[in-house]
Structure 1
């Protein structure tokens, strides 16, 4: 017996709860089947909605996946904001950033292609919503940098943009294959072992430390 579609949400609270259930269903499917196999029909089925109702909330698969990425991003910032730094200085901040960024495999996977490949396919309204969401996240992260290194908010935002650009690129080149790495040749295993997310990110972010020193001297 199939899942019976839920009735259309009426109140703002009900709509927010419905949207959250859609994002949760999408999150589950992305972890189980991956982006390429995820369909709007599958999301509607898992969420207990008619497919037409799903499109009232998200007009495309791209906007839906970007919304999931945004929710994971916000949750990552929440965790990163309250964690106790393990290391001091700029290098320590880079390592903390990388370790927490790579905690969730789905977040890391989406970070590698969400904005670069999906965002250009959005309609105008979804594009504006996506950019405003990212602006708020950059502002939150910049606030953490201000507290840690005592630099101006504008400078902190520039530093965060550098971090996020490096993180997105690092996520792309360190993506894990879907098959067992044991099947790979030994030289490829050795190379991928060196090219883990934290190592690549910290090395790539090192020059930003020079900029930070210059900013603190001004």
Structure 2
């Protein structure tokens, strides 16, 4: 992609994030995004077919950044474990710290999810992307669990449980920002899920 077009695309994505957060996805228009970015409708449609496509591109960017952050967090936890036994609680805390819970992004995704639920084709796209993210995360989690002497027993169930806990606790964190007990409980729930959907690697310890 030519540099100028890539820059235009990035400006549109940044502008859309602000517009969606301020107006709500359902009330936002292409014109508002273009005005915020300082471009014409032609510039928009040379990069995106619709606001739906723009949101999915935005989601893809943020998902990639999240995955990179999780990889870095696990690598840091594994590096620390070279000097001492891998601690599952500390590892989970590192991973969660790499998954930001942002008020405006949560509101945007919640609104877009409601929008997608009314559109079967879009709902299928979102479900496929969620599945792809889970498929990417699970090997990372599996590596971390292996360092803790554990192995996943049901990958699909673990992936779904992790998403459910993330979504549920994100609301709690946003409703009571700055409460250390909420953050601590979030970490404890993730560790509980990891333990419940994994077992000790040593067969003798599983008897």
TM-score normalised per structure 1: 0.64
Contact 1:22 1:43 in 2 (8 A): yes
Pairwise CA distance, 1:19: 4.2
Q: Who is 1:193 aligned against? A: 179
Q: Is residue 131 from structure 1 mapped to residue 127 from structure 2 by the alignment?
A: yes
Q: Who is 2:24 aligned against? A: 35
* RMSD of aligned residue pairs (Cα, Å): 3.8
1:152-197 CA-partner distances (Å, limit 9, x unpaired): 6x834432321121111111232258xxx9xxxxxxxxxx72553x
Pairwise CA distance, 1:104: 5.3
Unaligned runs of 5+ in 1: 1-11, 182-191
User: What SS is found at the alignment partner of 2:50?
Assistant: coil
Q: How many corresponding residue pairs?
A: 188
Q: Who is 1:69 aligned against? A: 59
1:9-48 CA-partner distances (Å, limit 9, x unpaired): xxx66897354442222234456x3636754322122334
1:191-211 CA-partner distances (Å, limit 9, x unpaired): x72553x22322332431332
Q: Who is 2:96 aligned against? A: 98
Contact 2:12 2:33 in 1 (8 A): yes
The change in CA–CA distance for 1:118 and 1:102 in structure 2 (over 3 A counts) is same
Q: List aligned pairs for 1:146-185, cutoff 5 A.
A: 146-150=142-146, 151=151, 155-176=154-175
Taking the aligned partners of 1:119 and 1:45, their CA distance within structure 2 comes to 25
Q: Who is 1:120 aligned against? A: 117
The change in CA–CA distance for 1:98 and 1:44 in structure 2 (over 3 A counts) is same
Taking the aligned partners of 1:121 and 1:41, their CA distance within structure 2 comes to 23
Taking the aligned partners of 1:66 and 1:114, their CA distance within structure 2 comes to 13
Pairwise CA distance, 1:213: 3.8
Pairwise CA distance, 1:142: 0.9
Taking the aligned partners of 1:195 and 1:173, their CA distance within structure 2 comes to 11
